Structure 1
Amino acid sequence: MNVALPALVIFFIFLPGFIFRIRFKRVERTSLDFSPFGRIAAGAVMSAAVAHLLWLSFTYWLFGQRFEPIVLMQLLSSAPASQVAAASAVAADFSWIAAYFGTLLFASFAFPILLRSAITNYRLDRASSPLRPMLRFHEAPWYYLLTGADFPEEEAPDFVIVAAIVEVGRDAMLYTGVLDSFFFDSDGQLDRLVLQGVARRPLARDKDTSDDEAEDKAASAGRADTGRFYPVDGDSFVLRYSEMITLNVQYVHLG
């Protein structure tokens, strides 16, 4: 008991910090997190300390409940007599302690989602923001590239067009369309793009001077295009990142 009880107490004390860290992070990988343990632990301990400070302040202000450091020290002690005395004190206020940790764990789960939404909506994490060092999601580079999240709100793109070269057989094909959504694999690598309004053409038919002249003639004649691109039928077109040779991203602003 003198070993298991302190470990269990420490686990419950720091658990809100780890939950907050997991829920707050915007990451593009779902496999095992290989971040240095020191950095993970430091972030979780700091988050847990702030959470407990706020929650203890709320409980004292709302209900008059005071934190007794001596009880915590006795729980962390290896002396059986101290642990018994502390366990008796905890049993006397078990309802309050259970409510404290229950609400704190729920807040640690729900609050990071609201905080992340606020950061995204107010663009506090964009490259030019003074709060960027603290609030930027450094483990989600594709998110910033493919959404245009680094633009100020008044300059945010209306939509994003991507163009990718894919080898089909022995020919290189250029696909272009409006980005609808994107997905990652478990290691955080871009897995696939979902496009709409897709057109394609062989890369061998790349644009040259004759194409410019043809486009000018087509425009004066009222025709939409010169036939260099072929529309791809369908509502959603999936491009796998592993099959792409190059990827071009264009941010489009209307008006």
Structure 2
Amino acid sequence: MNFALPTLAVFALLLPGFIARSRIKRIERQSLDYSPFGQIVSEALVWALALHLLWCGLAWLMTAYEPRPEVMLRLLGSDTARQAQSVEAIAAMAGPITAYLGSLLLFAYLMPTALRRLISHWRLDSHRSRLSPWLRFSGAPWYYLLTGADFPRGHAPDLIAVSAIVNIAGEAFLYTGLLSDYFLDPEGKLDRLVLREVMRRPLAADKPEHPGADGSPLLFTDRFYVVDGDYFVLRYSELITLNIEYIKLAEQAA
């Protein structure tokens, strides 16, 4: 019995499912997928079955080729003679089978990517959506926190303000600014934040209990000073605390 042929056939059948599963997920980890093996295989099987049913139906409608599952079943069996018959049948249809698998792999790559973008665009994965239990990207917590993706469509924040405490030479400083971008490490952990319009102050210079010398309360700019530069990078490993504020700008009356 030739074990290579059934293994290759199973791999070709399941490959679209694994591709579709990986493309529809929004995962911040870039190194390894530590999902349980049974979960990975079961999700890939469901995707592969759905894709093959769809593609077989389209192939039958558009090309009049009738699916022949018995060929694949004989190839997966233990009878060497039947395996040889299946190989001959597959060789006779090499062109259509190549077109079938090639187009299906391309579709398995592009369709989930487009579907994921539509889910994010229409906020179907936000925690307020009824479809959230099925469509939420559980492997991307920083995406929801740092993009405002949990807000309903049309109510997303215009700006995201970040305040962080950093220990510099034994003294705590408070940095605050507008989030411009963020980056993750290969393990999916937050690596650095890119801010603009940054200001800082020593944490000890908190809101004073008493007003200024002239009796007027101290202004925000009396305690903070502007950090020169277009962008300021904060490394997450150096932060003590992190505060996120979502800002929605008021619309001007016409």
Q: TM-score range by the shorter chain?
A: over 0.9
Instruction: Give the Cα separation in 1 of the matches to 2:136 and 2:198.
Output: 32
TM-score, structure 1 normalization: 0.94
Instruction: Give the Cα separation in 1 of the matches to 2:33 and 2:147.
Output: 24
Instruction: Give the Cα separation in 2 of the matches to 1:192 and 1:36.
Output: 29
Instruction: Give the Cα separation in 1 of the matches to 2:227 and 2:197.
Output: 8
What is the aligned counterpart of 1:245 among 234, 240, 243? 240
Instruction: Give the Cα separation in 2 of the matches to 1:155 and 1:23.
Output: 28
Which residue does the alignment assign to 1:222? none
1:80 is displaced (CA, Å) by 1.1
Which residue does the alignment assign to 1:133? 133
Q: Aligned in 2, Cα 1:216/1:20: closer, same or farther, shift over 3 Å? A: farther
Alignment of 1:39-188 (within 5 A): 39-188=39-188
Instruction: Give the Cα separation in 2 of the matches to 1:250 and 1:41.
Output: 40
Residue 204 of structure 1 aligns to a residue in which SS? coil
Bigger helix fraction: 1
Q: For residues 199-252 of structure 1, give each alpha carbon's deviation from its aligned partner in whole angstroms, at most 9, with x where no partner exists.
A: 000001011333699896567xxxxx4421111111111100000000000000
Instruction: Give the Cα separation in 1 of the matches to 2:194 and 2:99.
Output: 45
Instruction: Give the Cα separation in 1 of the matches to 2:15 and 2:110.
Output: 14
1:54 is displaced (CA, Å) by 0.7
Which residue does the alignment assign to 1:193? 193
Instruction: Give the Cα separation in 1 of the matches to 2:211 and 2:191.
Output: 34
- Structure 1, gaps ≥5 residues long: 220-224
Runs of 4+ displaced beyond 6 Å: 212-215
Deviates more, 1:238-247 or 1:72-81: 72-81
Please tell me the residue identity of whatever aligns with 1:249.
I
Report how many aligned residue pairs link the two structures: 250
TM-score, structure 2 normalization: 0.94
Q: For residues 35-62 of structure 1, give each alpha carbon's deviation from its aligned partner in whole angstroms, at most 9, with x where no partner exists.
A: 1100010111101111111101110111
RMSD (Å) for aligned C-alpha atoms: 1.7
Q: Aligned in 2, Cα 1:114/1:42: closer, same or farther, shift over 3 Å? A: same
